[in-house]
């Protein structure tokens, strides 16, 4: 099971919307890949690299080009914290 933080949801909508304006099929395909990856993270089938945010918080990172997903394990699955485009300024140290 996975949950999407409000910030991550807004970032995902923005990224998919940007791509959809240029190529709707590519946007749909990327969204499907991202949602499958969220499912796999929630089922502990994948495990990203441990990184430290600039705030000092330890989180895990998984890349699904062009997006970078930051998440944390919870008792019930995984909390998706951020979804950033890989070309944006890094939020990790």
Using the structure block, give the residue that is written with the tokens 């994948």.
Answer: 46
- Check pLDDT > 70 for residue 90: no
Q: Could you give the dihedral angle defined by the CA atoms of residues 74, 39, 83 and 58, in that order, rounded to the nearest 10 degrees?
A: 30
- 61-83 in b/e burial notation, b at 16+ Cβ within 10 A? bbeeeebbbbbeeeeebbbbbbb
**What tens digit of pLDDT does each residue of 33-84 get?**
999 999 999 999 999 999 998 889 999 999 999 999 999 999 889 999 999 9
Domains and CATH numbers, the chain: 2-85 (3.30.2310.20)
Instruction: Give the span between the Cα atoms of 2 and 69, in whole angstroms.
Output: 13
The residue written with tokens 């959809």 in the block is 20
């Amino acid at each position: 099971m996975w949950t999407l933080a409000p910030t991550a949801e807004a970032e995902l909508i923005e990224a998919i919307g940007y791509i959809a304006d240029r190529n709707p099929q590519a946007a749909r395909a990327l969204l499907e890949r991202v949602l499958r990856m969220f499912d796999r993270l929630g089922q502990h089938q994948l495990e990203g690299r441990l990184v430290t945010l600039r705030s000092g918080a330890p989180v895990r990172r998984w890349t699904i080009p062009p997006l970078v997903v930051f998440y944390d394990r919870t008792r019930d699955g995984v909390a998706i914290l951020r979804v950033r485009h890989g070309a944006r300024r890094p939020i990790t140290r």
